[in-house]
Structure formats: C-alpha cells, structure tokens
Structure 1
C-alpha cells in the first residue's frame, strides 16, 4: 500500500530498496528554502543494518502489508520463543532478538498477536496489560516528596520497573507492556 512520506510514523514497516525496514525515528522538516521533507531512520529486518533516508513530502513509499494472527505462547529455549495457533495447533518460532525485552513478559498460554510478512513471522504484540510478581524492592523512605515517590523494583522475570512506595516484595502488580510502567496492585 502506497503512503505519502508525510504519513511515515515510528514503528511502521516499509518496503524500500528490495528490503523490509522498520522505522526507528522520523522527523518532518520544512526548511525556509525548498520543499518539505521527512528525515527517516530505519532498520533492516533482514540484514540488521540501519539507514538514514530523506523523502520529499511529495514522494510515496510502500508500506508493508502485514497479516496478524492470534497465538498462545508455549515456551522458550536459548535462541527462540515458541507459539501455537489455538485453532490449528500449528507451532511457530520467533528469534529472541526479534522479540526483544517484551519476551521477558511472556507467560505460559499468554495470548499474543503475531505479525506475518509473506507467511514469515516478524514480531509479537503482547496484550496491553500483564500480571507480574515483585521479586525485590527497596524500602520506602519516610518524608519523601510526592513527586519522587516511586522506587525501583525487580520483577520475577528480571525486568526493572518503578513502583509506588506501598508496593512490597511478593506483591502481584499489573504492568503496561507498551512502556513497562506500573499500573496497579492486585
């Protein structure tokens, strides 16, 4: 699907120079002289290289069409995460480097959305909220101001987050998977 260069957003997948690119940064520039353009930093999903490209606002680029399917998380090994389609029981695997830090939030039978490009799995989208257990956290300090009232905590999966002072080790909390922030205590 063709889109205008002005419509390029962070996270989009573009087909460009016979490769698939994920947009990391984008900046729209309107210089005093000449036409407006979009300065885009992209990362190749196949070659793992980066590219800075300048597109005029009148140019069009090809947005990759992705197919999303619901899968359940099964397990992981040293290099991959394994998922199963709940309808067909077909299993797929995704490399840990493609999933990133989100992989630490995966729990058994968690329902996720896997994006496919030409029948090849590319990325995993987790639900917006997941439950986690606090492994360790610092003691709350008396007399702290409200503005700095968050303290560091380590989850049972090894991720570091900031939590309010009333959260203790062993508490169950809900985490936002998009920005890894505390939402509420259960």
Structure 2
C-alpha cells in the first residue's frame, strides 16, 4: 500500500483487480476545498488510457512488477521463448503479450520482460534496433533527392517506409515505438 502523495511515473497500481501504470500525475491544491491528485493511468494488459482523480493522501494498492533483462531465443508456434540473463531460466510468453514488439525482435536480442507474480505482462524493446532490409524496389536514377519514401521489408518481416535511395541488403536503424526509419547504419 502507498499513499497518492507517493505516486511516481511508471509506478504500477492494482485498482479493481486490474494493473494500471501511472503515465503522469499532478498534485492539485485548489484555493478552496481539499487537495487532490489528478492522474493519467494506462492499463498494463490492454493499453487503455484513462484519467482518474484521487483525494490527496488516499491509500492505493501498489503491484509488485519485476522487470528482468532477458534474451529472446526463438519462436515456438505462436509463443516466444526468452531466457533470463541472470539465472538462465527460460520463460514462454504468448504472442498476445509480446504484441507489436515481435515485428522488431531478432533471435538472441536483449529485451526487458515485466513480470507480475511470475506472469509476463509485456515485453519492452530498446528504443531503436538495427535491422537489414531484405526486400525493396530499386530506386530510379534521379529520385535521390526528392525526399520521397518507398516500402521496404525488414529481416523480421516488418514493413516500414524508407527513403528512395536505400537498396536491399542495407542496414537501417528503426524506432521500435513508432516503426519509423531513423537512418542508415554502415
């Protein structure tokens, strides 16, 4: 248990038997009436974001979320297998829990897996990864400086938009949160 006065960004709360992550919070002390805490909470499992207001000093139930550094090993059917970097124990995570992170994960890549009572909640990738383009249309001569983009398929199977001058086999840096092209890697 913690008080609403102790809230911090990233803290996970257990409200109505659901896990909610604090996205942002603000302590408000109006000139008239009692103080209160205005929060923006994100559901850990579904990703839904809600605004919620608490009276200042109210007790809230905090959830124990353990973030562990793990290595992605391989895909087993629809599930993904990860290995804990500290004790080499393997954990199987469902495709629904991994979500969009699967589009940018390569085997043997280091990720962070959040666990609550041994149950995987979500997989966190580094903010950017380096991947190779496995297929893209060839760029036309003279299209080098127009600033246009074309679709490209990465080695993980994800499709992103890249500048016209990039070719198959080029390594690119990709933002894992948005799927945007960040630059070419030599």
The alignment's TM-score, normalised by the length of structure 1, stands at 0.71
Separation of aligned partners in 1, 2:107 and 2:50 = 39
Cα distance change, pair 119–149 in 1 and its aligned pair in 2 (3 A): same
Does residue 179 in structure 1 map to residue 178 in structure 2? yes
Task: Identify unmatched segments of 5+ residues in structure 1.
Answer: none
**Segment of structure 1 superposing worse, 155-164 or 136-145:** 136-145
In structure 2, the residue matched to 1:93 is: 92
Specify the SS of the correspondent of 1:103: helix
Task: Identify unmatched segments of 5+ residues in structure 2.
Answer: none
Q: CA RMSD in A?
A: 3.7
In the TM superposition, what are the counterparts of 1:99-118 in structure 2 within 5 Å?
Answer: 99-118=98-117
Cα distance change, pair 166–63 in 1 and its aligned pair in 2 (3 A): farther
Task: Give the deviation of 1:129 after TM superposition.
Answer: 2.6
In structure 2, the residue matched to 1:55 is: 53
Task: Give the deviation of 1:107 after TM superposition.
Answer: 1.4
In structure 2, the residue matched to 1:66 is: 65
Separation of aligned partners in 2, 1:87 and 1:70 = 8
Contact 1:137/1:154 (CA < 8 Å) preserved in 2? yes
Task: Give the deviation of 1:8 after TM superposition.
Answer: 7.6
Separation of aligned partners in 1, 2:135 and 2:16 = 48
Number of residue-to-residue matches in the alignment: 180
The alignment's TM-score, normalised by the length of structure 2, stands at 0.71
Cα distance change, pair 44–126 in 1 and its aligned pair in 2 (3 A): closer
In structure 2, the residue matched to 1:79 is: 78
Cα distance change, pair 12–166 in 1 and its aligned pair in 2 (3 A): farther
1:65-86 per-residue CA deviation (whole Å, 9 max, x = no partner) reads 3222111111112321101123
